[in-house]
Structure 1
Amino acid sequence: MDVLDAVAVFAAGVAAGGINTIVGSGSLITFPTLVALGYPPVVANVSNNIGLVPGSATGAYGYREELRGQRGRLLRLGSASIVGAVVGALLLLGLPAEAFDIIVIALILVALILVVAQPRLQKWVLGRREGEHRPHGGPALWVGVLLAGMYGGYFGAAQGIILIALLGIMLDEDLQRVNAAKNVLSAVVNGSAAVVFTAMWLFSDTEINWWAVLLIASGATTGGLIGARVGRRIPPLVLRVVIVVVGTVAIVNLLA
């Protein structure tokens, strides 16, 4: 990795850390950056996942005020995130690399659709919650978070948007507190998958590019703090345009 490549990966990490904290889908910045630089898709995905963990943690910390009173809920839902993330990570490592090339294109397309549709999803969430009181999500939300964790452990882009939709529909909370909970659960998913990937690297032939991990982690840590601080001031349309452009580039690279 030369200096320009390192700068590009670090900058992508900063952007991804901020976007993950504000919206979700930061992997649509870092993952295609690594692929464009020549990393095999599975190596890029695993390295990206581990690198984004510190950014998820700093993003959650930045929303600590909105997290007050949610400890019990997050402990309960966090167990679903852990189980789902481990299953998703094992699927990523267990399925043939050729399968990842096909599956990830479909996942990116779904993620891009979710990014574009986010304003409508938010309106739908608010409409569903009008006049209703839901102190907790119940078993349905636990299962939904489990499935989102599987998705996040396998690939992860747009898992934040999926979690916001789930939590917003099934919990009686404003969207800022929902977003705070989303940041914690995303951190749990990324962290759990990172433990699996690191263990497999230690005890098997799983490939991880630790330079990419370090650069993304450094950038994402900064981006997570920035995202939590200024996220409400960034026009959502700008973020969606950037994500869609980069995601489209990723699909083109994977099909090339």
Structure 2
Amino acid sequence: MASIFSLIFILIGGVASGLLSSVASMASLASYPVLLAVGIPPVYANVTNDAALIWTSIGSTISSTKELKGHWHQVAFYSIFTIVGSLIGCRLLLAFPSSVFEKVVPIFIAGSGVMVIVSGKHHSLEPHKRPLWQEIFYIAALLGMGVYTGYFGAAGGVIVLVLLTYITDEKFIVVNAIKNVICGLANLVALIVFIFTSRIYWMQAIPLAIGMFIGGYLGMDILRKVPARYVRIFIAALAFIQAGYFFYKAYML
């Protein structure tokens, strides 16, 4: 039974996680270590994290209805690929041991930090001017990111954000809003699978979800006031910090 102090700790961590998710696509930088700190094993911490993550997306989606107006057809189309990928990722998570799971994560996160910097210098072509192979590559990458979201998800939102920057020609804040919905749906699918196939620590997931909803809602207001260039730098810095943290845990301990 969780103590009142650990529940408050998780709630505060959830608010921080929701802010990081909506602003920097880095929810797990706060939420995953919080769950580990209260004694939840790594794989189950990831599953419990998924159970709460969807509330970040709900909060940020409610807060960004203005940015999403006229873009719901894009959300629906891209979500198909990330949802299918998420189902595959869930299966992989349950099939492979935690040692494999922990050693792969730092590589994905460090790569996401590099990608977010590179994408900031990208100037997208108009959709009708892109070669077909490029369109297919980006869609396949979204499918791959769905797999990663179902498998672990840490910094997965960053890579989805980068891919959407290349796929669409929208402003950064609009792309970020689309990303929040897509990742939320992928996490929802993962949660449904895990409810029946794994263990979720609901006592910890509930306060984490409440905090994530609050942080996700407030984060979009912050994002509207900060230039996209600074947000990208912030995202990349957090990605490298998180990659270092998981690299240390996986290879140095």
Q: Normalising by structure 2, what TM-score? A: 0.85
User: Aligned pair in 2 of structure 1 residues 20, 102: CA closer, same or farther (>3 Å)?
Assistant: same
Query: Residue 113 of structure 2 aligns with which residue?
Result: 115
Q: Would you say the 8 A contact 1:32–1:246 is kept in 2?
A: no
Identity of aligned residues (%): 27
Tell me how far 1:232 sits from its aligned partner: 3.7
Tell me how far 1:102 sits from its aligned partner: 2.4
**C-alpha separation between the residues in 2 aligned to 1:166 and 1:117?**
9
Of 92-101 and 216-225, more deviation after overlay is shown by 92-101
**C-alpha separation between the residues in 1 aligned to 2:55 and 2:195?**
15
Which consecutive unaligned segments of at least 5 residues does structure 1 have?
201-205
Which consecutive unaligned segments of at least 5 residues does structure 2 have?
none
Tell me how far 1:185 sits from its aligned partner: 0.6
Query: Residue 139 of structure 2 aligns with which residue?
Result: 142
Counterparts of residues 76-87 of structure 1 (less than 5 Å): 76-87=77-88
Counterparts of residues 114-133 of structure 1 (less than 5 Å): 114-115=112-113, 118-124=116-122, 127=123, 129=124, 132-133=125-126
Query: Residue 65 of structure 2 aligns with which residue?
Result: 64
Query: Residue 198 of structure 1 aligns with which residue?
Result: 195
Q: Structure 2 counterpart of 1:38, which letter?
A: G
Query: Residue 96 of structure 1 aligns with which residue?
Result: 97
Q: Would you say the 8 A contact 2:102–2:246 is kept in 1?
A: no
Q: Structure 2 counterpart of 1:122, which letter?
A: G
**C-alpha separation between the residues in 2 aligned to 1:239 and 1:12?**
18
Tell me how far 1:6 sits from its aligned partner: 2.0
Q: Would you say the 8 A contact 1:47–1:213 is kept in 2?
A: yes
Q: Would you say the 8 A contact 2:116–2:235 is kept in 1?
A: no
Tell me how far 1:253 sits from its aligned partner: 4.1
Tell me, yes or no, if structure 1 residue 166 matches structure 2 residue 159: no
Q: Would you say the 8 A contact 2:119–2:166 is kept in 1?
A: no
Question: RMSD of aligned C-alpha atoms?
Answer: 2.4
Q: Structure 2 counterpart of 1:151, which letter?
A: Y
Tell me how far 1:193 sits from its aligned partner: 0.6
Q: Structure 1 counterpart of 2:84, which letter?
A: V
Tell me, yes or no, if structure 1 residue 4 matches structure 2 residue 5: yes
User: Aligned pair in 2 of structure 1 residues 108, 232: CA closer, same or farther (>3 Å)?
Assistant: farther
Of 212, 217, 225, the match for 1:225: 217
**C-alpha separation between the residues in 2 aligned to 1:220 and 1:52?**
7
Count of aligned pairs: 243
**C-alpha separation between the residues in 2 aligned to 1:8 and 1:248?**
23
Q: Normalising by structure 1, what TM-score? A: 0.85
**What SS class does the counterpart of residue 127 from structure 2 fall into?**
coil
Q: Structure 1 counterpart of 2:217, which letter?
A: L
**C-alpha separation between the residues in 1 aligned to 2:242 and 2:72?**
35
